[in-house]
Amino acid sequence: MTRLASPLLTAAVLAASAGMAFAANAPAAAQPPAAATAAPAPQVKDHARPTQSRAAGDRMTAALNLLEAKGYGGFSDFKPSGKDFAATVNENGQHFAVTVDPDSGQVTRQG
């Protein structure tokens, strides 16, 4: 009886391990889709500024870049002035006011 039990036990172990290997390599259709078991993705809210504020910030950045490009690296009192921007610049030890129009790319000396 021992001679017969040993081969039967070996066959049972081999059959069980083959079944486990088959389950691990089962086709995707047999396994539940990942989306069905996963939690829904959280909703992300866009907290960005409105487009109008973004455009105003872009114009201000363009005005600041124009001042630098025109050689007015030392300036102060930069502020909006109507549709343009105003600043006090320092050139060769002298201070004077300028108006910056970022739309046209003009920096105009005042007075």
Compute the average pLDDT of residues 57-83. 92
Compute the average pLDDT of residues 73-82. 91
The residue extents of the domains of the chain are 55-109
Is there a contact between 60 and 103 (Cβ–Cβ < 8 Å)?
A: no
Which amino acid does the sequence have at 32?
Answer: P
**Is a pLDDT exceeding 80 seen at residue 47?**
no
CA atoms within 13 A on the CB side of 50: 2
Please give the pLDDT value at position 72: 86
Q: Which helix (H) or strand (E) holds 90?
A: strand 84-91
Compute the average pLDDT of residues 89-102. 91
Please give the pLDDT value at position 65: 94
